Every structure is written in structure tokens, then in C-alpha cells.
Structure 1
């Protein structure tokens, strides 16, 4: 019994330890700023990812982003630039070759194992610290230095400006591409431009939560928001709030532990989704009850 309690205490101290928390907090201020930028970017672009049914594309882009970052790590180049190159290459390929959903899924299914295989190869050849290798897959809480923070903020601003400029045509195209094309909207250009913005957002996300768990920030918050509202104004707001809570909350919880940031971010994001889903189910039942009573 005593050994069991001791083991439980050791496990708890690995998951949550707030000793010297104030000093540690000063070391990760860059990660918190980057996480906040990522929360806003991921929350907004995630709404369109859900509307366009492109969650699978996020994962496909992240694998080539991982390959690009791994190559940069191996050859001593800027990891953010490598991640950007891989993301944009995947995004453009998917955008150009995957106009139809069936073609898009096939292309993504081909790119994912290729990108993951390349990334693993580059990491296997990399002679440096194992923490750098692991961080590209699952995120690192102290991996964001000042130059990286500048890159991440700059990329985030580009994505936000692009989304604001494209918001109306992109919303129209996401809801009904055929009608949008009939109204004169250049749907092909809009789709390709969105893929480029998505590639940039994925590259930013990989730097914080790692390549394997990007979906927790670019898909789950928006999916949760859509469970509790259908308002074109409230859904993006809720998605951004959920993403911010997930990533900043995950960083703050991971700060006192020896574990990567990603388990905390994904757990918070998942809990938010479950709660929103339960709320959505309860509202739907209430609406059906009112309709049956009125009938």
C-alpha cells in the first residue's frame, strides 16, 4: 500500500509540479506568446477547415512540415524555414491536384507516409540532442527562442490578414462552391490561397505542439464550437477561445513537469470538445421536445 502511494506520488509529481513555478514561468514567456498567436490563428482557420471537410489535409500537411523541419535540423538550417517549406509544398500539391474530395484524400494518403518516412530518416541521421528530435513530433515547451518567436508572429500575422481579406468569398466557397462559382467567385484561386494559409498555420503549429498533434489546435476547437452554435459570428469567437485555453493552459500545466506539452494541450482540447458535444446533444433534445409539444 505504501509503495503504491509512493508510486502515485511520483507519477503526480511528474505530471504536475509547481516548485519554483515563478522562475520557470519567466523561461517560457516566448512559448506563451507563440501559443497565444497560435490559438488565434488555429481557432480562426479551423472553422474553415471544418466547413471544407479538410481535417485529413491538416494531418497530411503536418507530415511534410515535419519532414522539412527534420531536414533543416539535420543540415543546420533554420527549423522554422524548413517547416514552412514542407508545409507549403504539401499545401500547394494538395490544392493543385486535389480539386475533388476523392482525389484530395488519395493525394494526402500518399503524402503522409512519404513525409513521415523522410522525417524519420532525417532524425535518425541527426547526431544532436534527442530532445530536439522528440520535440518536432510532440512539441517542446522551451523550444521557442527570440528569432523563432519573431518568425511565428510574422507568419501568424500573414495568415490572419489573409483570412480577413478572403473571409467573405472563402465563407461562400466553403458553404457551397458551385453557387459561389456561379456568382463569379474564383473558387479555384480561393481554394489554393486557403491551402497556402493552412500550410502556414500548420508550420506555426508544429513548432509548439509537434507534427503528430496539430489536429488538436486546428480542428478540435472549431469542431467543439460548431457543436454549441451555428452563428457565423459566434463560432469563430468560441473556436479562438477554445484554442487559446487549450494551448496556453497546456503550456502552463506542462511548465512544472518533465513531459512534453502535447499531452496537456490535447487533453484540454478533448475535454472542451466532450463538454460542447454534451451541451449540443442536450440542446438538440430540448429542441425536439419543444417541437413535439408544439405539434
Structure 2
């Protein structure tokens, strides 16, 4: 009897799984996390090598600011997150080369951006759940448009990393020698900062601003 109940339970679980896999929101969520896994695996090692972990956290906070502003003014959340994150990444890329200077500047900008995000969310007159999802993410809320946007951004990031792979590795491992050999280190730094901003913006929409650092840094740091 117990065996029959176990078999019946297994069949029921299989039917539930098959039913869920026929739902659009489940399929969109699976595609979204697959794309995020691809992004994290491609860009994470360079972030760790360049000691830009704090920059990722700052970019995710500013992505939250951009998304919150878009939410308040009735614009597309994804584009708002991308704009906020890319602007933040460019600001971080233009800061001092020394880690101590960069981290201090990122801390100041991040605090200002987080305060603005809280203000925008407070002023938003809609449902509080929509606002809270910006912090924690909402995997079941990924739409077809969001998946397409994420796929385009993932393609841009991967193609750029492939095109710049050799000078990017050189400038990441030893920027002084790379610059002496004629590698445009500053331009590569700005391009990579934009890529980090794009990746952080995509992750914010799925896992939230609070977990972007874990997604983009932890696997790469463990591998290193």
C-alpha cells in the first residue's frame, strides 16, 4: 500500500512539473536564469581579476535607482535599470585607478544612489510589492519582452568579451605593462565598466539588487 501511495505521489509530481513547464512564465524564468548564468560565467572572472567586486555592488544599487525612477515616472523598468547601472559603471570607470580611491568614491556614489532609490520607491503610488521586487527580484515576473531584452544584452556582452579577450586579459593581469606595450587600457576599462553595468542591470530584474553581488562574484571567486 505504501508503495502504491509512493508511485501515485511520483506520478502526481510529474504531472505538476509537466503542467508548470507548459506555462509561459515558467519558461521565461528558466530562460532568464540560463542567460544570467551565462553572463555570470563570462564576466565574473574578469571582475574578480580586476578587483571590481565593490563596483558590481555599486552598479546594482544604481540600477535599482534607475529602475525606481522609471517605476515612478511610468517608464520601462528594464531600460531604467540599464541606464542607471551603465551611468554608475561609467562613473566608477572614470574614477581613480587606485583601489582605495575607487572604493571610497564608489561608497559615496552608492550611498547617494541608494537614498534616491528609497525616495523614488516611497513616492511611488502603486503597489508596494512592485517596489519591493526591485530589491529581491521577481523571477516569475519576467515577460517575453524582458527575455528578449536580456538575450540581446547577453549577446552584446559575450561578443564584446570575445572581441576584446586578449587585450582585456593582458590589461587585467598587468595594466602597467599592458599600457607600456600600447594597449588602450583606459578605453578597455571604460568598455568593461559598461559591460559590468549591463550585466548588473539584467541581474537586478531577476535576483534583485541585494543578490547581484553573490551571482556575479561568488562563483568566480570560488573558481579563482
Residue matched to 2:37? 39
Counterpart of 2:20 (choices 7, 19, 24) is 24
Q: Displacement of 1:175 after TM fit?
A: 0.6
Distance 2:77 2:44 in 1: 24
CA deviation digits over 1:43-69, x for unaligned, max 9? 110100000111011001111100000
Distance 1:78 1:22 in 2: 32
How many residues end up aligned between the 2 structures? 210
Q: Is the 8 A contact 1:65 1:203 kept in 2?
A: yes
1:95, 1:191 within 8 Å by CA — same for their partners in 2? Answer: yes
Q: 5+ residue gaps in structure 1?
A: 1-16, 227-295
- Cα displacement (A) at 1:125: 1.1
Q: Would the aligned equivalents of 1:139 and 1:207 in 2 still touch at CA under 8 Å? A: yes
The structural deviation recorded for 1:23 is: 3.2
Whether contact under 8 Å (1:84, 1:200) holds in the other structure is: yes
Which of 147, 166, 176 is matched with 1:149 structurally?
A: 147
Q: Residue 134 of structure 1 aligns with which residue? A: 132
| Helix, strand or coil at the partner of 1:24 | helix
Aligned to 1:183: 181
Q: Decide which of 199, 202, 215 is 1:201's aligned counterpart.
A: 199
Q: CA deviation at 1:99?
A: 2.5
Q: Which runs of 5 or more structure 2 residues have no equivalent in the other structure?
A: 1-12
- Distance in 2, matches of 1:115 and 1:99, equals 22
User: Alpha-carbon deviation of 1:114?
Assistant: 1.0
1:184 alignment partner, SS class:
coil
Partner of residue 102 from structure 2, selected from 99, 104, 107? 104
Partner SS for 1:219: helix
TM-score normalized by structure 1? 0.68
What RMSD in Å do the two structures reach over aligned CA positions?
1.6
Using the size of structure 2 for normalisation, the TM-score is: 0.89
Mapped to 2, the partners of 1:111 and 1:57 lie a distance apart of: 11
